[in-house]
C-alpha cells in the first residue's frame, strides 16, 4: 500500500498537459472538485475528456444532424448503437466506429480490436451480430509501408471476424496519398434483436451489484482513448502499448454468455468496456442512471501483478463488459459466465450518491461526480474557430478544359481499370469469411451493397459504407451530401429502401480553423441529404487528429447506410449483365463536369475542380422511381455511376456478367470525356428484358426521370460506338490483378 502511494506523482499543470488536457480544463477540474485531483482522478478525467470519449469539439455540431425518423427505435447517443424497426417484431442495431490511430502503428491488432469493439457495441444491447462491413483508406500502393499496413489491417479484420463467426458483406478500400501516414480503419456491425428485448447501458437500484465479466484486465491499451485524440507523429511508434490486443475466441464466448444472461431477467444494465475501460463504463452507466457507484478495484481480475488503480481504471483490455444486476441475483449472472469459462466477479454496488468512487488497498483513489465525466453532461463542449480554406477558390475555379484530354478512350478506360480505387478488391474480400451463418445473399465485391436475409422472414437487410474524401476536400458541403445520397443510391440499386445511417467522421486537427470549417460544412451537407432522404442519423463516431507530419487526410465522413428489402428472394438486384439481348438503359441526370473525378487523378495526376454536380430533390425522385421499378419486377440489373463514371460502370457490369454490350451514347449530353468519365451524381445504368422496355420507359417518364436507351447486352466485347471497343476478358484480367500484383512487389 505504501509503495502504491509513492508511485503516484504530484499532480500539477505540467502533468495535466502530458495527459492531453489543457490549462483551462485543468482549472475546470480543480474548480469542480474543489481541490487538486489525485493522480488517478487526473487519469480518469484525461480519458473521459479526450476527444475520443467526450466529442468535446464536435458534440455541438453533431446535435444539429437529423435524429428522428419513423423507423427509429433508439436514436443517436441514447445507447451503444442505433436501433431501427425492420418489421416482423424485429429491431436492427447498427453502428460504425474508427480504429485509425492504433491501426497506423500496429495494423493487425488495431484493425482486429476495432472489429471486436464494434461487435460488442451491438451485443451489449442484446442484439446478435449478423453482419459486418468496413471502410478502409490507405496511401499509395507503391509505398512499401502502405502495403505493410494494408496486409496487416486486412489480416486483422479477417482473422478476428472469421474466428468470431460473422460474415463481411460489404465495404470499400480506397487509396490516395493524403492517407499516406494516417490510414483509416472504420468498422461497422449489424445485429438483430426482438423488439422490446434490448438492454440499456444504465446503472440503477441502490444496493444492486456491479459485476465485471469476460476477460481479465491487463496493461494493454492504457490511454488508448487519449492516443486516439492526438496527431500521429514520429513518437507514435513508441505508443504501441496504447494498442489493445484482441482475442476473438474469448469474444465469441462473451457474446453467447451475454445473450444467455439476458434471458435470466437478472440484468438491470449492461455496458461494453471499450475506450477508457472501467473508467468509462462505470461513469457512463452511473450518469445515465443518476445514482452513484462504489467500485473496489482490488476485486478486478488482473492478469498482471502490481497493477495500480490508475492502470486498472484506464486499461482498454478487450472482451470485457460491465453489468449491473438485481440484488440477490448476482450468482445467476456469475454462473452463466463461469459456464462459458469467463470471469464474473462482483466489484462494487450502486449507491445513493451522484459519484463514482474507486477504492484500492482500502483507500479511496478517486471520487468524482459522474456527470462531470460524460458526453453531453459535464465534459467540455467547444465551438472552434472556422476559416474557409484558401485552396477552395483555386480548385473550384479550375478549368478542366485547360488540360489535353487523350482521344484513346479505350486506353483511358484500361488505365482506370488499373487504378487501385476501381480495380477488384477480391484480394481483400477473399481473406474474409463472407458466407458464414449462410444468410449472405450478395457478398462484397459483386454488388452495389451487401445483402443478407433475415431468417424466418421474407426480408433482407441491405448495407453500404461509402464516402469519396476527394469530393469533400473539393467542396465540403456537397461532398457531405454526396456521401449520403451515394450510399443510399447503392442500397436502392440492390433493391433496398434506405432507412437510416450511422457515420464515422474522419477529419484532421479541429484546432485548425480550416479543418473545423470543413468539418462543419460536411456535417451540414450530410444533414441536407439525410433530411431529404428521410434517413436519420442513429449515431457513430468522430475521429479527429487524422494528420501526419506532412498534412491532414482528405476529410472523410464515412456513411454506413442501412436499408430493407421486403422480398429478398425476388427484389434483390445485382449489377451484372444477365443475358444477351437485354436492353441497356441510362436513367438520371446529365453527365456533366469532370471535377474531382478518378479520370482527372489517374490520367492527369490532378485532384482539382469542383465536386460532382448534385440536385438532391432530383436524387430523391430517381431513387424512389428506381425502387418502384425493381419492386415491379422489370429491372434485371442496376449499377450506380460513381468512380470512373459511365464507362467504368458499363465495364464492371460486363466483367461481373462475363458478357459484352453494344452501346451508343448519342442521347447523352456533354463532351465525350464528360459522357464517359464524369462522376456527376444521380445516374444509374439498368438492364431490362426487351419485352419490358416500353413499360420501363413509360414508368420513368411518368416519374419525371430522364431515361435513355444505350443499347443491348451482346457478345464478348464492350463496344461504345465511335469511342471504344474492349474485350471483356482483357478488362477482367486488368481489373482483377491490380492489387495482387502490387502486394507481390
φ and ψ of 716, to 5 deg: -120, 10
Q: Are 99 and 187 in contact (CB under 8 A)?
A: yes
Per-residue pLDDT tens over the stretch 506-534: 999 999 999 999 999 999 999 999 999 99
Q: Name the grid cell of 355.
A: 459519484
Per-residue pLDDT tens over the stretch 18-38: 999 999 999 999 999 999 999
3-state secondary structure of 218: coil
Distance of CA 113 to the CA centre of its chain: 14
- DSSP state string for 87-151: ETTEEEEEEEEE-HHHHHHSHHHHHHHHHHHHHHHHHTTTPEEEEEEEEEEES-TTSHHHHHHHH
Q: Of 19, 52, 101, 223, which is the active-site residue?
A: 52
Confidence of residue 239 (pLDDT cuts 50, 70, 90): very low
Q: State the residue for C-alpha cell 457478345.
A: 715
Measured between alpha carbons, how far is 491 from 484 in angstroms, rounded to an integer? Answer: 11
Q: Is the confidence at residue 238, as pLDDT, over 70?
A: no
Name the E strands within 326-362. Answer: 343-351, 355-360
CA end-to-end span of the chain, whole Å? 56
Per-residue pLDDT tens over the stretch 99-121: 999 999 999 999 999 999 999 99
Per-residue pLDDT tens over the stretch 417-445: 999 999 999 999 999 999 999 999 999 99
User: Across residues 407-421, what is the average pLDDT?
Assistant: 98
Helices (H), 355-408: 391-396
Q: State the residue for C-alpha cell 436501433.
A: 83
Q: Name the grid cell of 115.
A: 472489429
User: Across residues 491-510, what is the average pLDDT?
Assistant: 97
Per-residue pLDDT tens over the stretch 645-704: 999 999 999 999 999 999 999 999 989 999 999 999 999 999 999 999 999 999 999 999
Q: Are 599 and 412 in contact (CB under 8 A)?
A: yes
Region class of 192: left (phi > 0), else alpha (psi between -120 and 50), else beta? beta
User: Across residues 494-499, what is the average pLDDT?
Assistant: 98
φ and ψ of 25, to 5 deg: -70, -35
Confidence of residue 242 (pLDDT cuts 50, 70, 90): low
Q: Report the mean per-residue pLDDT for the chain.
A: 94
Under DSSP, the state recorded for 545 is: -
Q: Are 442 and 169 in contact (CB under 8 A)?
A: yes
Q: Are 135 and 85 in contact (CB under 8 A)?
A: no
Of the given ranges (68-72, 292-296, 418-422), which has the lowest mean pLDDT?
Answer: 68-72
At the fourth CATH level, which superfamily is domain 573-745? Answer: PurM-like C-terminal domain (3.90.650.10)
Measured between alpha carbons, how far is 339 from 85 in angstroms, rounded to an integer? Answer: 33
**Among 601, 596, 626, 600, CA closest to 478:** 596
Q: Is the confidence at residue 2, as pLDDT, over 60?
A: no
Q: Is the confidence at residue 3, as pLDDT, over 50?
A: no
- The pLDDT value given to residue 235: 54
Under DSSP, the state recorded for 354 is: S
Per-residue pLDDT tens over the stretch 698-734: 999 999 999 999 999 999 999 999 999 999 999 999 9
Q: Name the grid cell of 304.
A: 498482471
Q: Name the grid cell of 659.
A: 458478357
User: Across residues 131-148, what is the average pLDDT?
Assistant: 97
**Among 212, 210, 251, 208, CA closest to 343:** 212
3-state secondary structure of 239: helix
Q: Is the confidence at residue 177, as pLDDT, over 60?
A: yes
> Does 52 participate in catalysis according to the annotation?
yes
> Is the pTM for the entire model greater than 0.85?
yes
Q: Of 19, 71, 99, 699, which is the active-site residue?
A: 99
- The pLDDT value given to residue 9: 87
3-state secondary structure of 297: helix
Measured between alpha carbons, how far is 717 from 715 in angstroms, rounded to an integer? Answer: 6
User: Across residues 175-184, what is the average pLDDT?
Assistant: 94
3-state secondary structure of 376: coil
Measured between alpha carbons, how far is 634 from 632 in angstroms, rounded to an integer? Answer: 6
Number of Cβ atoms within 10 Å of the Cβ of 490: 30
Measured between alpha carbons, how far is 401 from 692 in angstroms, rounded to an integer? Answer: 40
3-state secondary structure of 378: coil
Sign, CA torsion 538/619/485/686: positive
Q: Is the confidence at residue 643, as pLDDT, over 50?
A: yes
Measured between alpha carbons, how far is 577 from 718 in angstroms, rounded to an integer? Answer: 11
Q: Is the confidence at residue 49, as pLDDT, over 70?
A: yes
Q: Name the grid cell of 508.
A: 484532421
> Does 673 participate in catalysis according to the annotation?
no
Measured between alpha carbons, how far is 714 from 730 in angstroms, rounded to an integer? Answer: 16
3-state secondary structure of 561: strand
Q: Name the grid cell of 202.
A: 444504465
Q: Are 2 and 8 in contact (CB under 8 A)?
A: no
Q: Is the confidence at residue 550, as pLDDT, over 90?
A: no
Q: Which residue has the higher pLDDT, 377 or 538?
A: 538
User: Across residues 456-481, what is the average pLDDT?
Assistant: 98
Q: Are 697 and 664 in contact (CB under 8 A)?
A: no
Of the given ranges (536-550, 599-613, 628-642), which has the lowest mean pLDDT?
Answer: 536-550
Q: Is the confidence at residue 240, as pLDDT, over 60?
A: no
Confidence of residue 78 (pLDDT cuts 50, 70, 90): confident
- The pLDDT value given to residue 230: 58
Of the given ranges (53-57, 207-211, 352-356, 591-595), which has the lowest mean pLDDT?
Answer: 53-57
Q: Name the grid cell of 74.
A: 433508439
Measured between alpha carbons, how far is 510 from 441 in angstroms, rounded to an integer? Answer: 41
- The pLDDT value given to residue 144: 97
Per-residue pLDDT tens over the stretch 312-347: 999 999 999 999 999 999 999 999 999 999 999 999
Confidence of residue 241 (pLDDT cuts 50, 70, 90): low
Amino acid at each position: 500500500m505504501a509503495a502504491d502511494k509513492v508511485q503516484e506523482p504530484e499532480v500539477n499543470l505540467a502533468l495535466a498537459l502530458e495527459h492531453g488536457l489543457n490549462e483551462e480544463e485543468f482549472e475546470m477540474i480543480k474548480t469542480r472538485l474543489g481541490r487538486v485531483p489525485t493522480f488517478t482522478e487526473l487519469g480518469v478525467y484525461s480519458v473521459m475528456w479526450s476527444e475520443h470519449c467526450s466529442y468535446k469539439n464536435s458534440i455541438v455540431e453533431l446535435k444539429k444532424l437529423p435524429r428522428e425518423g419513423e423507423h427509429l427505435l433508439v436514436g443517436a447517443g441514447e445507447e451503444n448503437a442505433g436501433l431501427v424497426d425492420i418489421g416482423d417484431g424485429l429491431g436492427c442495431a447498427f453502428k460504425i466506429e474508427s480504429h485509425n490511430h492504433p491501426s497506423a502503428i500496429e495494423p493487425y491488432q488495431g484493425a482486429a480490436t476495432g472489429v471486436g469493439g464494434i461487435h460488442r457495441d451491438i451485443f451489449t444491447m442484446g442484439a446478435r451480430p449478423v453482419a459486418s462491413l468496413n471502410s478502409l483508406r490507405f496511401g499509395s500502393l507503391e509505398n512499401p509501408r502502405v502495403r505493410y499496413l494494408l496486409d496487416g489491417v486486412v489480416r486483422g479484420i479477417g482473422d478476428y471476424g472469421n474466428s468470431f463467426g460473422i460474415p463481411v458483406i460489404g465495404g470499400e478500400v480506397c487509396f490516395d496519398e493524403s492517407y499516406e501516414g494516417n490510414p483509416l480503419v472504420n468498422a461497422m456491425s449489424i445485429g438483430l434483436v426482438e423488439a422490446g428485448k434490448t438492454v440499456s447501458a444504465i446503472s440503477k437500484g441502490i444496493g444492486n451489484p456491479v459485476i465485471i465479466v469476460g476477460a481479465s484486465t491487463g496493461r494493454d491499451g492504457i490511454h488508448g482513448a487519449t492516443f486516439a485524440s492526438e496527431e500521429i507523429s514520429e513518437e507514435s511508434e513508441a505508443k504501441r502499448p496504447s494498442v489493445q490486443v484482441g482475442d476473438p475466441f474469448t469474444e465469441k464466448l462473451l457474446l453467447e454468455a451475454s445473450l444467455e444472461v439476458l434471458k435470466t431477467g437478472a440484468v438491470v444494465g449492461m455496458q461494453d468496456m471499450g475506450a477508457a475501460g472501467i473508467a468509462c463504463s462505470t461513469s457512463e452507466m452511473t450518469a445515465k442512471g443518476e445514482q452513484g457507484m462504489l467500485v473496489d478495484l482490488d476485486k478486478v481480475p488482473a492478469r498482471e501483478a502490481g497493477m495500480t488503480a490508475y492502470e486498472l481504471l484506464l486499461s482498454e483490455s478487450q472482451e470485457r463488459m460491465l453489468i449491473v444486476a438485481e440484488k440477490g441475483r448476482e450468482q445467476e449472472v456469475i454462473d452463466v459466465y463461469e459456464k462459458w469459462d469467463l470471469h464474473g466477479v462482483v466489484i462494487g454496488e450502486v449507491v445513493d450518491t451522484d459519484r463514482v468512487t474507486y477504492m484500492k488497498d482500502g483507500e479511496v483513489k478517486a471520487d468524482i461526480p459522474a456527470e462531470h465525466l460524460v458526453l453531453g453532461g459535464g465534459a467540455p463542449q467547444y465551438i472552434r474557430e472556422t476559416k474557409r480554406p484558401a485552396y477552395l477558390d483555386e480548385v473550384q475555379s479550375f478549368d478542366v478544359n485547360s488540360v489535353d484530354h487523350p482521344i484513346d478512350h479505350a486506353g483511358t478506360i484500361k488505365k482506370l481499370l488499373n487504378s487501385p480505387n476501381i480495380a477488384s478488391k477480391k484480394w481483400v474480400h477473399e481473406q474474409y469469411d463472407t458466407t458464414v451463418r449462410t444468410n449472405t445473399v450478395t457478398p462484397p465485391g459483386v454488388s452495389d451493397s451487401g445483402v443478407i436475409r433475415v431468417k424466418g422472414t421474407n426480408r433482407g437487410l441491405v448495407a453500404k459504407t461509402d464516402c469519396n474524401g476527394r469530393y469533400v476536400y473539393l467542396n465540403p458541403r456537397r461532398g457531405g451530401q454526396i456521401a449520403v445520397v451515394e450510399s443510399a443510391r447503392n442500397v436502392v440499386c440492390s433493391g433496398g429502401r434506405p432507412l437510416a445511417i450511422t457515420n464515422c467522421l474522419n477529419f484532421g486537427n479541429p484546432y485548425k480553423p480550416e479543418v473545423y470549417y470543413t468539418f462543419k460544412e460536411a456535417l451540414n451537407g450530410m444533414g441536407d441529404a439525410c433530411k431529404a432522404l428521410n434517413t436519420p442519423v442513429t449515431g457513430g463516431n468522430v475521429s479527429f487528429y487524422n494528420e501526419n507530419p506532412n498534412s491532414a487526410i482528405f476529410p472523410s465522413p464515412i456513411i454506413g447506410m442501412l436499408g430493407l428489402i421486403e422480398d429478398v428472394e425476388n427484389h434483390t438486384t445485382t449489377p451484372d449483365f444477365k443475358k444477351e439481348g437485354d436492353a441497356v438503359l441510362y436513367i438520371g441526370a446529365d453527365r456533366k463536369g469532370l471535377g474531382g473525378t478518378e479520370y482527372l487523378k489517374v490520367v492527369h495526376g490532378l485532384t482539382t475542380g469542383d465536386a460532382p454536380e448534385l440536385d438532391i430533390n432530383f436524387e430523391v425522385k430517381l431513387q424512389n422511381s428506381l425502387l418502384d421499378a425493381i419492386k415491379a419486377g422489370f429491372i434485371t440489373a442496376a449499377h450506380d455511376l460513381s468512380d470512373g463514371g459511365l464507362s467504368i460502370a458499363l465495364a464492371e457490369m460486363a466483367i461481373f456478367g462475363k458478357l459484352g454490350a453494344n452501346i451508343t451514347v448519342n442521347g447523352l449530353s456533354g463532351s465525350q470525356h464528360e459522357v464517359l468519365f464524369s462522376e456527376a451524381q444521380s445516374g444509374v445504368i439498368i438492364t431490362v428484358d426487351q419485352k419490358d422496355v416500353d413499360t420501363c420507359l413509360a414508368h420513368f417518364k411518368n416519374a419525371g426521370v430522364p431515361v435513355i436507351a444505350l443499347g443491348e447486352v451482346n457478345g464478348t466485347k464492350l463496344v461504345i460506338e465511335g469511342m471504344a471497343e474492349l474485350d471483356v476478358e482483357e478488362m477482367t484480367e486488368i481489373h482483377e490483378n491490380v492489387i495482387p500484383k502490387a502486394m507481390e512487389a
